[in-house]
Amino acid sequence: MELSFDRLTKHYGSRIAVDRVSASLTPGVYGLLGANGAGKTTLMRMLCAILEPTSGEVFWDRQEVTAMGAAYRNVLGYLPQDFGYYPGYTAAEFLAYIAMLKGIPRETAQRCIRELLETMGLLGAARKKLRTFSGGMKQRVGIAQALLNDPRVLILDEPTAGLDPKERVHLRNLLADYAGDRIVLLSTHIVSDVEAIADQVLVMKNGRFILRGTVPELVRRAEGRVWELTVPAEQARAWEKRATVANLRHEGDRAVLRVIADERPSDDAVPCRATMEDLYLYHFGQEA
């Protein structure tokens, strides 16, 4: 089982959104990290055969996906960043509608819908209109629709948006279990979610992959670039303007700063153990 793409490129006029990216994904969880505008959503839409690439190809088990047509859609589950829904439908009605679009037999669909509503903690709200749902509840419905056809490839764009910490942990555990014999690709700005479950992380910037590896491999790249120093509280703002400050806390009239820098930012700065968030800020701190 393999989802691969070769020199995948997308231009919008003179702007290059995705620039000749290639990778081969096998079963496991892949985290896609990058700032807004890095090309993550464009890449995901091309992998789902929703958006036609300017050049390059996407393959599922060595077959080009656009040529596969419905056969590829049958193995694919997708949650877009803003999924469309009918506010007058109940959760159960909406999932039944999506199941029909996916060609899932009625009996199978009814069983799957009940199981997914229970898994996503929505069974008690199955007959409530989607217009009454909170943002987190709607997001859970979106995740459920992506899982309806038991896809071999699950692509999720910002799946934890709107979820509270407990819901995020539940989803992370669900995806980790699900990826045992399937491919899960998720994009998120919540670095801790990727750090918790991703087997591999792809870091994207300006339409290209700038880094790829396991979490420990990538964290090692930030080692030696993370420092802690204590300054008078009134100097904290000046430090934020001249350096990438990952964290700031006040202790009386002093401020303790966690600073990302290639070199020791001051004589009294002490090195700290790096995290994925530090790596992210090292590459995207100025953009953020």
List the chain pLDDT tens, one digit each, 288 residues. Answer: 999 999 999 999 999 999 999 999 999 999 999 988 999 999 999 999 999 999 999 999 999 999 999 999 999 999 998 888 899 999 999 999 999 999 999 999 999 999 999 999 999 999 999 999 999 999 999 999 999 999 999 999 999 888 899 999 999 999 999 999 999 999 988 898 899 999 999 999 999 999 999 999 999 999 999 999 999 999 999 999 989 999 999 999 999 999 999 999 999 999 999 999 999 999 987 654
Tell the residue number behind the tokens 């801790």, with chain if given.
Answer: 192
β-strand partners of 107? none
Q: How many Cα atoms sit within 13 Å of 181 on the Cβ side?
A: 1
Nearest to 230 by CA among 192, 265, 190: 265
CA distance 264 to 144: 47
Q: Output the 3-class SS for 154-221.
A: EEEECCCCCCCHHHHHHHHHHHHHHCCCCEEEEECCCHHHHHHHCCEEEEEECCEEEEEECHHHHHHH
DSSP 8-class letter at 53: -
Nearest to 120 by CA among 183, 170, 190: 170
- Are the CB atoms for 191 and 232 separated by under 8 Å? no
pLDDT on residue 52: 96
Token pair listed for 134: 């909170």
CA distance 259 to 243: 7
pLDDT on residue 31: 96
CA distance 249 to 230: 10
DSSP 8-class letter at 19: E
Q: CA angle at residue 64 from 61 to 65, to 5 degrees?
A: 90
CA distance 9 to 38: 13
The model's pTM is: 0.91
